[in-house]
Homo-oligomer: A and B are copies of this chain.
Amino acid sequence: MPFHTHKLANGLQIIGETRPSARSVALGFFVRTGSRDETPEVSGVTHFLEHMIFKGTPRRTALEVNLEFDRIGADYNAFTSEENTVFHAAVLPEYLPTAVDILADILRPSLRGEDFDMEKNVIIEEIGMYEDQPTFCAYDNAKRVYFADHKLGNSILGTADSIRAMTRDQMHSYFERRYVAPNITAVAAGNFDWPTFVALVEKHGGGWQPGPVGRDCLRETSGSGKFEVMTKSKVTQEHVILIAPGPSADSPLRYAAELLAMAVGDDSGSRLYWELVDPGYADSADASFHEYEGTGSFYTSCSSEPEEAEENLARVLEVLRGVQIEGIREEELNQARNKMMSRLVRGSERPKGRLMAVGMGWTYQHEYRSVDDDLRAFEAVTLKSIREVLERYPLDKVTTLALGPLETLRRPGSNGRE
């Protein structure tokens, strides 16, 4: 699968992985900006801006954006994370020119005051909806407690208050600063012609303003180590999240970290599955590794009846400590590797899967990695590299957040209740 790259004069990066045997093409604009790039006054602006991007440009109304995507049968969407805002579409090859045109056009939005005021309500409603989802709420608060004064703890959605107080000018100045050409990568994967794609991106994005790019607070962190209980009487189950430190997105240890998280907490056949879910102690118990620029973390979560929460927390910690001390077994590593390789390969069979992999790989590792490169990296993980991860990033050095009906929860190993 040949990889191509080209940078326009204004700094806009273009990359692509062509696969002629594919029958569709996926494309996206990866903007390197997220909640970690926000100041407290504009908390939630990145996500709010992602919504506003679909509200029209000097050339198209919001309705026309919608209709034009529909007319070409595009599967299109966008998402905002702590570090990235990505706008993407998958189309039949003949519609690539239209898709580039629409996506590039909406990236220069009008940000009209009237739309801004209307959309505020949508965002505030979305915040309310997420507040009703205990899993999301627990995860969001656990990040806040773990990252403390590190900007990765910023909320992606912001709060109803921060959204209400935001002005259109604040959003506009954030846009002008973060959506500069050198902070954006145009990516395509699948069945397309590389020179045509470059020409299309140049035509529609070659005039975008250049400008300085940057990101503060890139230090590694191992978390606050706090233990916090948030009481929500309306929630029926107790949700406990534990966060431990992990390697960053450009660390060579990331592959071992992925396999370690899978062995510890994949949703089937993992340690947490056998110790907590299979015997029926918890409704769910899983672990995953999240990588960021400059740092990373292991998330472990467990939900159960409130009266079981204390014992389950002890069980989870026993699993984490057991792995920290003894590591995992060869057969656990092999199983995790087989699952990972199978998911990687299956995910790669769709242009959309490759779009995300190639785009994120470039964003974080500043290089192209083929499916085979990644497969080889997972092949190369040994029990020794797992041990290296554990030594540098102790799995049991956790920050804990409980959310649910409980008013107190005993911190295991402590005398009192918190």
Contact = CB atoms under 8 A, between A and B. Distances in A.
Given A75-B346, A346-B75, A350-B349, A268 B70 contact: yes
A71 B338 contact: yes
A90 interface: yes
A166 interface: no
A171 interface: no
A265 to B, nearest CB: 14
B24 A92 contact: no
A340 to B, nearest CB: 7
Nearest to A72: B338
Given A73-B342, A350-B350, A67 B269 contact: yes
A285 interface: no
A75 B350 contact: no
Contacts of A346: 24, 75, 90, 350-352
A398 to B, nearest CB: 26
Question: Per DSSP, are chain A's interface residues mostly helix, strand or loop, or mixed?
Answer: helix
Contacts of A351: 346, 349
A335 B66 CA distance: 12
A269 B338 contact: no
B349 A92 contact: no
Given A269-B70, A350-B350, A351-B349, A92 B335 contact: no
A389 to B, nearest CB: 21
Given A349-B22, A350-B350, A74 B342 contact: yes
A8 interface: no
Interface of A: 21-24, 66-67, 70-75, 90-92, 268-269, 334-335, 337-343, 345-346, 348-352, 371
The 5 nearest A-B residue pairs measured at CB: A73-B342, A73-B338, A70-B269, A73-B339, A21-B21
Given A22-B349, A92-B338, 16 more contacts: A23-B348, A23-B371, A24-B342, A24-B349, A66-B269, A71-B334, A71-B338, A72-B338, A73-B341, A74-B342, A75-B343, A75-B346, A92-B341, A92-B342, A349-B349, A349-B350
